[in-house]
Amino acid sequence: MNRPIRNLAIACLVLFAALMINVTYLQYWQADNLTSLTKHPDNVRVADSAFAEPRGAILVKGHAVAQSKKSGDRYKYLRTYPSGAEYSDVTGYFTRTLGIGGIEATQNDVLTGNSSSLFVNRVIDLLGNQNPQGGIVSLTINPAAQKAAYDGLRALGSRIQGAVVAIEPATGRILAMVSSPTFNPNRLAGHNFTKAKANYDRLLADKLEPLNNRAIELRLPPGSTFKLVTAAAALSSGKYTPNSLVPGGTTLNLPETSHVLTNENGESCGGPKITLTRALEVSCNVAFGTVGLKIGADAIKKQAEKFGFEQPPFFDDLDDQLTHQATSVFGTPDRPQTALSAIGQSDVQATPLQMAMVAAGIANNGEVMKPYLVNEISSADLGVVKLTPSKVLTAHAVSASVARELTEMMVGVVTNGTGRTAQIPGIQVAGKTGTAQSLASRPPYAWFVSFAPATSARVAVAVLIQDANVERNAISGSGLAAPIAKAVMEAVLNQ
Amino acid sequence: MELVHRRRRGAELFLLLLSLVVGIGAYAAVGIGVDGKVPADIITYGGSLSALVIAAHVTVRLKAAYADPVLLPIVSALNGLGLAMIHRIDLAPTGHPAHSKFAAAQLVWMMLGVLGFITVLVVIRDHRRLQAFTYTFGLAAVVLLLLPLLPGVGKTINGARIWIHVGALSFQPGEVAKVLLVIAFAGYLVLHRDALALAGRRVLFVDLPRGRDLGPILGMWLISLSILVFQNDLGSSLLFFGLFLVMLYVSTERPGWLLVGGVLFGIGAYFGYLTTAHVQVRVTAWLHPFAKDSGAYQLVQGMYGMAWGGLTGRGLGQGAPQTTPISWSDFILPSLGEELGLTGVLAIILLYGLLVERGLRTALICRDNFGKLMAAGLAFVFALQVFVVVGGVTRLIPLTGLTTPFLSQGGSSLVANWVIIALLLRISDQARRPPPEFSDVSEDMDSTQVVSMR
């Protein structure tokens, strides 16, 4: 019977070899796949352990706006947001069961210490037998500007719908980004998951969508602020100068239809013929409708594209599972609609970020910079690992001379036009108001874009008030939006 | 004269001490991993574990001095690791306080196992005497297998009706039946091997048995099928049939039986798949574990745990094995894989491999056919059981519920496996013991032949 026993031994060897190979496959080759939360989000072990790791802090000018504190419970660390709701649209939130968002999501690898850029630090931690430490993310945000933007929106009420974006024109660094209404991330990051879930569900059910980052996700007609793009196209076409005379009457008959285009208040813009500069100052619809028809939809669209309209998403610093940068659009208007598109109505839609970039592009001599939010990544001991370089999105959105002309026209808006409420004593401010109609049944949107100082600008701002629960006639870019822009600009300039 | 085996009891003691370092060390590591300090009861725990192992060792010294020196240390190491892991899961914050006493109960069961081990070595002085009980054991095994189906006594746990319940004691008779069946098969096949081995015709290079000799294998096949159908126990069904088939092959030296058995197994498996929802669920879960509603939650959790453990594991007490359902029993290997890593799992599989190898070696050197067959059967039962359960929890084959020998929480299994080791040691002792020496009788024809035992 020894021969079959020997065969049996070989068979058993094969069985055990199969087990060993399979286990090696499972625990070695398949391990990375099975422990990847993106591929297997239901792997609670990895999720739990990630939740129990100390995460790096998110800093703004050296102060933490998100940090991990020892919690003393089984998860060891609690993520806290010292500034509460003020930075929530930037930091996002870090939760065990409700997902993660904002910088917490997009910089997750850095914050957990798993980023390849922190590889050397990880090896050092490993050799020194220390627990790997999360990296630190420093933001481009200017705390004073952020506070001014947040307070400005809050002053209109906690349920006001709106957004503020401020950009440093020369670099594209985002100095402030606030959306309203917003949420307090501390209420989602707590370790009482039932309570956190209830809070989250309440936010999801809220009709005003507090989890939305209106600064990058919301696309609305930019109204008269879009006249900056039309003016840029007009000046660049060579057919117009700031002093060109344009029609300033009460109405413009739209071609091929019986519709007429009127001005905001139904009055004349100050005579049958006014300069282009004056037309911008008083935000003359008739004038810009005419200009639009003259230079044509294609020219305006090309100009808009140079500022970032219709482009693939270029701002990915907040691109998480829920949030994505909305692409601003110009559309393909027919001839009568071209007049409406030229004044930022019809199919034209822009995000607050996009309008801030229009202002920043003009402020930066026609060069549009790619906006970014992460200034630098550093290791736990604050050694800088990676500094985000500035990148050019469009080198010549307009020529330097056109940019200069546009700036002068925008200064006129603030000095003698609709933007007086944004004036800052002793400093030249360039700006443009907008009040966009959408439907007759709902209030218009108030916009304001600006930058200061007019020459060598340090800050460009876009403010959108989507709905402020005020009387219809109390809504205007100059009344609601411009004071907030002014406060943000002052906050930057006073430093 | 063939080679004379040495007793090697000193080597066994040395290996046993190493195995105690593994077992008690693992227990201490669990305490450090969970609470940050060596558990306070390490002395009592280590003491009782050592006492049990030493008692087993002393019995072997006294009653089976020539037995294989490696088997007992392997079992001691596996049992110690299992206890430490069950203790570790007891400590995990699962929110099931009822589970927190598994390790203590398992230690008691280990005590009973060692008691069974000692009893077997003391009572059974010669394994050949078991051959007399061939049919008694066979009948007892069948009765034990049927017991769980009796109303009032039987109990369905986790879908399988393989438990009996008397008073507060629940017990899996299949585990005991496993031991009895090996003995019964060995006794039966030793008697009938000639008929089963020789008669037959040759078809395409393979000797196929005669139709009239198919009786026993068909009978075993039907018993296995009924275990599957009536008790929903895929694992035991596979185990018993595989065991019988292999012992049939070993006794007859005839691969044709494997062919017949393989065909029967194929038919049975297909029939089982068609008729039993239980089997369909397991196969679907095996093929598509990550699909939605795959029914593979437990399997997937076990795999997540092992993957998370990676090469070196999270460390004892530092993983989350309690996430996997039944992590202390059927899924104890993924629990160990999570905390000891691939390294630990490979070591454990190697231990099982060594165990099987020592058992088959015993079969090879055994001088009587009954002992050979029994040792081969007992060794193979470990191999098959380990393959089915480890292959199941690591998704090599569809998952079937079987205990992992010596590691899983569960009394019947632990006691039965300790008894199997005792039987293997008994056969091994017989096999390695130097044969009796015959004195020279040519000079004096009148004197009786003197046989002296060493």
| pLDDT tens, position by position, B395-438 | 999 988 788 999 998 889 999 999 999 999 999 999 998 877 76
326-355 in chain B: CB under 8 A from chain A = 337-338, 341-342, 345-346, 349-350, 352-353
Question: What is the rounded CA–CA span in Å between residue B364 and residue A2?
Answer: 6
With contact defined as beta carbons under 8 Å apart, do A322 and A203 qualify? no
Closest-CA residue of chain A to B383: A12
Give the residue among A168, A221, A213 at the shortest CA–CA distance from A356.
A168
Q: What is the pLDDT of residue B219?
A: 84
Q: 3-state DSSP call for residue A66?
A: strand
Burial class (CB in 10 A: 0-12, 13-18, 19+), B129: exposed
Q: How many Å lie between the alpha carbon of A74 and the closest alpha carbon of chain B?
A: 9
Report residues of chain A scoring pLDDT below 70. Answer: 126, 128-132, 438-441
36-65 in chain A: CB under 8 A from chain B = 40, 42-46, 48-49
Give the residue among B144, B27, B150, B137 at the shortest CA–CA distance from B77.
B27
| Closest Cβ–Cβ partner in B320, B342, B356 for A23 | B342
Which tokens hold the place of B259? 């062919």
Contact (CB<8Å) B376/A8: yes
Q: How many Å lie between the alpha carbon of B307 and the closest alpha carbon of chain A?
A: 4
With contact defined as beta carbons under 8 Å apart, do A310 and A328 qualify? yes
With contact defined as beta carbons under 8 Å apart, do A334 and A355 qualify? no
Residue B80: pLDDT over 90: yes
Contact (CB<8Å) B353/A35: no
Angle at A451 between CA A449 and CA A452, to 5 degrees: 150
Name chain A contacts of B303, Cβ cutoff 8 Å: 26, 30, 34
Contact (CB<8Å) A19/B306: no
Other beta carbons within 10 angstroms of residue A442's beta carbon come to: 11
Question: What is the rounded CA–CA span in Å between residue B226 and residue B239?
Answer: 13
What pLDDT digit, counting tens, does each position of A151-205 carry? 999 999 888 999 999 999 999 999 999 999 999 999 999 988 899 999 999 999 9
Question: What is the rounded CA–CA span in Å between residue A57 and residue B325?
Answer: 36
A350 vs B99, higher pLDDT: A350
Contact (CB<8Å) B394/A48: no
- On average, the pLDDT of chain B sits at 87
Contact (CB<8Å) B353/A3: no
Query: CB within 8 A of A399, min separation 6: which ones?
Result: A236, A366
Q: What is the pLDDT of residue A341?
A: 94
312-371 in chain A: CB under 8 A from chain B = none
Burial class (CB in 10 A: 0-12, 13-18, 19+), B428: buried
- Tell me if chain A has a CB within 8 Å of the CB of B305: yes
Query: CB within 8 A of B164, min separation 6: which ones?
Result: B147, B148, B150, B153, B154, B155, B170, B171, B172, B173
Q: What is the pLDDT of residue B1?
A: 47
Closest-CA residue of chain B to A39: B290
Q: What is the pLDDT of residue A130?
A: 66
Q: 3-state DSSP call for residue A67?
A: strand
Q: What is the pLDDT of residue A399?
A: 96
Query: How distant, in Å, are the alpha carbons of A56, A123, A136, A384, B231 from that of A381?
Result: 10, 14, 9, 9, 62
> What DSSP line would sit under B390-415, residue for residue?
HHHHTTSS-----PPTTTSS-HHHHH
With contact defined as beta carbons under 8 Å apart, do A6 and B343 qualify? no
Contact (CB<8Å) A19/B349: yes
Closest-CA residue of chain B to A23: B394
- Tell me if chain B has a CB within 8 Å of the CB of A29: no
Q: What is the pLDDT of residue B322?
A: 87
145-184 in chain B: CB under 8 A from chain A = none
